[in-house]
C-alpha cells in the first residue's frame, strides 16, 4: 500500500511524540516495565503525561501488558526505526551538534515527513557539506525503513485514529 504525504506526516506526527520515543526505547533497551513502574522509569514526567503516553502506545498496538509492559512486534520494529533515525541524526549532527536521542529521532522523522523536493539539511548541520559529499547520505535508508514500518504495522491503528480525527 502506498502512503500519501498526508499519511506520512500524520504517522510521523504521532510517532515523534517525545514520551512515546522514550517509552519504546526504554522498554527496548531495558526490558519490560512493571505495571506500576512507570513513575520510577520516568521520574521527570508528570503522572498524566505517562498515562497519556502509555495509552497512545497501547492504542497504536506498540505495547501489551501481561503484568509488565512489553513491546509488540510493531513496537520492536519501531524501536529499530528510532535507533536508525537517531544514528543518522548523530552521524550528521542533526538537528545540532549537541543533541539527545529523543531530539535526534523526532527531528529526523520530521525531516522525512517533508515533501521530498524540500528535504534538505541546513549547511550548518552538515559536517560533510564543505567536502561536497551528498547531504542526505543514508537518509533514504531511514525513509525506506519508515515506509516499510508504516506498511507492515501502522495501517489499522494509525488510519483509524486519523479518520476519526478528520
pLDDT in the model for residue 120: 57
Of 11-25, 57-71, 87-101, 132-146, the one with minimum mean pLDDT is 132-146
CA distance 1 to 5: 13
**Cell numbers at residue 147, please?**
515506509
Give the mean model confidence (pLDDT) for residues 94-116: 90
pLDDT digits (tens, 9 = 90+) for 37-52: 888 889 888 889 999 9
Q: Which residue has the higher pLDDT, 7 or 75?
A: 75
pLDDT in the model for residue 39: 81
Q: Please give the full DSSP string across 74-127, using - where no structure is assigned.
A: HHHHHHHHHHHHHHHHHHTT-S-SS--HHHHHHHHHHHHHS-GGG----GGG-T
pLDDT in the model for residue 135: 52
Amino acid at each position: 500500500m502506498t502512503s500519501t504525504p498526508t499519511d506520512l506526516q500524520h504517522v510521523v506526527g504521532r510517532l515523534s511524540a517525545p514520551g512515546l520515543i522514550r517509552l519504546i526505547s526504554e522498554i527496548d533497551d531495558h526490558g519490560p516495565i512493571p505495571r506500576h513502574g512507570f513513575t520510577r522509569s520516568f521520574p521527570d514526567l508528570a503522572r498524566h503525561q505517562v498515562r497519556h503516553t502509555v495509552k497512545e502506545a497501547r492504542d497504536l498496538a506498540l505495547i501489551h501488558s501481561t503484568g509488565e509492559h512489553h513491546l509488540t512486534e510493531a513496537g520492536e520494529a519501531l524501536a529499530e526505526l528510532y535507533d536508525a533515525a537517531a544514528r543518522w541524526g548523530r552521524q550528521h549532527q542533526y538537528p545540532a551538534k549537541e543533541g539527545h536521542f529523543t531530539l535526534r529521532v523526532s527531528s529526523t522523522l520530521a525531516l522525512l515527513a517533508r515533501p521530498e523536493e524540500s528535504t534538505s539539511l541546513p549547511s550548518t548541520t552538515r559536517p560533510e557539506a564543505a567536502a561536497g559529499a551528498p547531504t542526505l547520505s543514508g537518509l533514504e535508508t531511514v525513509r525506506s525503513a519508515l515506509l516499510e514500518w508504516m506498511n507492515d504495522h501502522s495501517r489499522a491503528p494509525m488510519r483509524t485514529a486519523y479518520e476519526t480525527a478528520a
